[in-house]
A and B are shown apart, each in its own frame.
Chain A
Amino acid sequence: MKFFHYINFILIVILLAGICVLEDVMVSNSLKEMQSICFEIEGKLENYNDLKNMDIVLSIDNLEYRWHKDEASLCYMVNHKSIQEIGQEIAKLKLYISGNDIEAFKVSLEEIKFYCHSYLHFMGANIHNVL
């Protein structure tokens, strides 16, 4: 019986370690990927004068698809409310494309990058979060 008691606790410790590693990998992978897609879109913007072209539209669709996919998994680990801003900004990007508002589009992209950077900070294990 005592043996099973120890096994229980070892399993819990392994489970906790697994959750921590999984969270770190999931959060950093998805947010870094979002950041890189944003940089990619910014690069594409320099080649075009307006937003209504297939390349930009597809990139935004890709950004939205990636985010929805990752957001669902991230919600197992983080508070939904803490990560909702990125989804809102992506929705705005689509609006700016239809209105061809390139300046607002750039601001939204910056915001997404900023949120990704902030999330990476507050979701990661560091002394600031601990204290």
Chain B
Amino acid sequence: MLTIIIRSILIYLIVLLVFRLMGKRQLGQMQPFELVLTLIIADLATIPMAEVSVPVLHGVVPLLTLVVLHFLLTLISRSSQQFSKIISGKPVILVNPKGIDYQAMKKLNLSTDDIFAALRECGYFSLSQIQYAIMETNGKVSVMPKADYAPVTNGDLNTKVEDSFIPIVLISEGKIIKENIELAGINEDEIQKIISQNSSKSKKIKDVLLLTIDKTGQTYLQMKEGEGISFQSKRLVET
């Protein structure tokens, strides 16, 4: 049993390394060749994990071979459009201003139900709202609505809006994230002050569930016991 436990840990770490080397794409964003590799990797990893008589190398070698293969396919795909089309296919226009492209639908083995399901996922419930719908190489459908149904943007209304910024997490589950404090250009005393001024219950850092701040000074504080509050603190120094 100990052997199986150690092997499982070893294989897990190797598969983790393999996926890190392959990149951060999620299942739904994978190209066909990446999906195939992922499925094979999942299967390969279980064999040496459960079967003690099979050397770990019998799992590791094919895994590493697939990493190299993936690297090579990605490299060639990037440098050759033609090769990329062969391996990943190319985007197909499913819906155009005239309606559903039946030939494209047949070629992709889709039914009208599949198309409607994909359109509904994009927030469109009627074909009359859609100018173009494109099936991407990773299987997702991108929709371009007709001008009448396109969401209004601030640009359309000529409204001046200040850019929003990504909030920096200063405290997460009672722990100060030192790296982010440096990034935000504030110190622990200032953080303590923010907590003391805005928390009615505990004033301790360890009781903070989440404290975030963005470049404009917009702060969000939630204690472990209590509701979250948003307030304005000082603007952060540009770092």
Contacts and interface: CB of A to CB of B under 8 A. Distances in A.
Interface of A: 8-9, 12-13, 15-16, 19, 75-81
A12 B57 contact: no
B55 A13 contact: no
A107 B61 CA distance: 37
B68 A77 contact: no
Contacts of A12: 64, 67-68
A80 B53 contact: yes
Given A8-B21, A16-B65, 17 more contacts: A9-B21, A9-B67, A9-B68, A9-B71, A12-B67, A15-B64, A16-B64, A16-B68, A19-B57, A19-B61, A76-B57, A77-B55, A78-B55, A79-B54, A79-B55, A79-B58, A80-B53
Interface of A (DSSP majority class):
helix
Nearest to B18: A12
Nearest to A19: B61
Nearest to A9: B71
Contacts of B65: 16
A37 B64 CA distance: 37
A33 to B, nearest CB: 21
- What 7 A-B pairs come out closest when comparing CB atoms? A80-B53, A81-B53, A9-B71, A12-B64, A79-B53, A79-B54, A76-B55
5 contacts: A9-B68, A13-B68, A19-B57, A19-B61, A76-B57
A16 B53 contact: no
Nearest to A12: B64
Interface in B47-84: 52-55, 57-58, 61, 64-65, 67-68, 71
Nearest to B20: A8
Interface in B14-60: 21, 52-55, 57-58
A77 B57 contact: yes
Contacts of A8: 21
B61 A16 contact: yes
Given A8-B21, A16-B61, A75 B67 contact: no
